[in-house]
Amino acid sequence: MATIQALTAKEILDSLGIPTLEVTLWLDSGAAVVTSVATGTSTGQFETTDLRDNDSARMVGRGVLQAVNHINQTIAPALIGRDPTDQAGLDQLLLQLDDSPRQSKLGGNTLIAVSQAILKAGALSQNWPIYYYLQQKYQLTQNLTIPTCIFCMIDGGVHGSDNLDFQEFQIIPASFIDYPSALNLAVTLYQKLEEVLVNRKAVHATGTLGGFTPNLMTNSEVFDVMIEAIKATPYIFSQDVFFGLDASANNFYYGNRYHLKDKSQAYSSKELMEYYRTMRQAHKVIYLEDPFNLDDTKNWLELTAELGSTTSVSSDSLTDSNSKRITEVSSKKFANTFVLKPSKQATITELLLCVSAARQAGNQIVIAHRSGETNDDLVADLAVGIGANFAKFGPVNRQERLAKYNRLSQIHQEIVNRNAVQTTLEVTVAPIVAATPEVTATPTISNPPV
């Protein structure tokens, strides 16, 4: 049995230039894993609390040296000699070390950094890729497949330059398109979209996530521009590719109204509902995330009831990757799809509870990145290992986003190779099995991927 030999943390910077945590964990074999924590631009009311130094003289108060010390001095000694495959037990130990509300004592960022390292170390101790380790250990999916990717093309809202209200304008390849072809589609459309913006003499700078931030007059105009880009490619709109939208409505809701640049007067909830109906019909938007304010649950319910059979009505801020919230929102049918972000909670075990809660209610799952990312590609393995329906890692731009897409490419090839080897073995042994019934050795899913 492998055991944890050492654990250390240090402060690094995320893609926003904000401090975050990196943890290195060594096994008694001498092998090591490294992981880092993604951070968001805001903290939801149901997610854990990041521990920050609040020292105005350093890193604008957002340093994480206290969290580093907690890991090095408090958590590491408690984990030495423990079995890294005991994810649930070690995650419970972490929560015992900080049983404060929303982990405000040691910090949710502190605990998830260690929990991620434990997951990676557990997979390493079995000499398995993380996605395969997850699939074998938790059996949350029978088949290893690449989720449908939701690619951000244009940044708006808090990620843009204050000219568009919706946070992400996305493309979604049709589900029959395999991952390499879907990635090719996304890259092609991203490049063509830039050409369209240049030809229109529109701003084609990029925002926080790496999506374009054009100076368009209305949110609806974005879809027209993206359709123009699609027409410049071999792809067929609403056949090969569809649209998605992360509205992030909390950010444009104030004074009990929704404020969009599409018209001079603010929208009522009823008017915004009609806006979404029109958008679904005219622009084939099949994915709609955070369409209303958190407290506007009546309209969450109505939208899901009306469009849910053809549209993924997705909750991020309404549930914050919190399993109890997912169970509650599922039972009330406010949404049919749930966004899961590992760093919104304190442990990997909580993330897996979220998966189970969503699945038990028959809902879809999105494994997603955050605005402040690192080059850690763990979320790609998570998306495959738990059988997510969608993966949302941002645009095909910026290395911290591309690390995830490149990891999916590697996983895809490993799955193809494993399936090819398995098929070859089955063909080879089939005649022997037929001639000699007592021979039962046939390849199964438990064989590690090639």
Query: How many angstroms separate the most distant Cα atoms in the chain?
Result: 79
Q: What is the mean pLDDT of each run of 10 residues along the chain (450 residues)?
A: 97 97 98 96 86 96 98 98 98 96 95 98 98 97 96 88 88 97 98 96 90 88 95 96 96 94 91 95 95 96 96 96 96 98 96 97 97 97 98 97 98 93 66 37 35
Q: Would you give the DSSP letter of residue 147? A: P
- Pairing, β 4-13 against β 19-27: antiparallel
CA-closest candidate to residue 40, choices 312, 278, 332, 317 = 317
- Residue 211 to residue 214: CA distance in whole angstroms: 10
pLDDT at 241: 98
Best CA proximity match to 154, nearest among 84, 225, 217, 102: 225
Neighbour-count burial of 163, counting CB atoms closer than 10 A to its CB (0-12 exposed, 13-18 middle, 19+ buried): middle
Model pLDDT, residue 163: 77
Task: Find, among 370, 360, 313, the residue nearest to 340 by Cα.
Answer: 370
User: What's residue 59's pLDDT?
Assistant: 96
Sign of the alpha-carbon torsion through 59, 16, 203, 266: negative
pLDDT of residue 416: 94
Q: What is the pLDDT of residue 427?
A: 59
**Residue 191: C-alpha distances to residues 44, 113, 161, 185, 396 (Å):** 34, 35, 20, 10, 10
β partners of residue 13: 19
The confidence score (pLDDT) of residue 262 equals 87
Following DSSP, what letter does each residue of 15-73 receive, concatenated? TTS-EEEEEEEEETTS-EEEEE--B-SS--TTSPPPP----TTSGGGT--HHHHHIIII
Alpha helices per DSSP H over 232-296: 269-283
Residues 417, 426: Cα–Cα separation, whole Å: 14
Percent helix, percent strand, percent coil in the chain, to nearest 5: 45, 15, 40
Q: HSE on the CB side for 71, CA within 13 Å?
A: 28
pLDDT at site 430: 46
pTM given for the model: 0.92
Domains of the chain (ranges; CATH) run: 4-126 (3.30.390.10), 148-411 (3.20.20.120)
Which pLDDT belongs to residue 428?
56
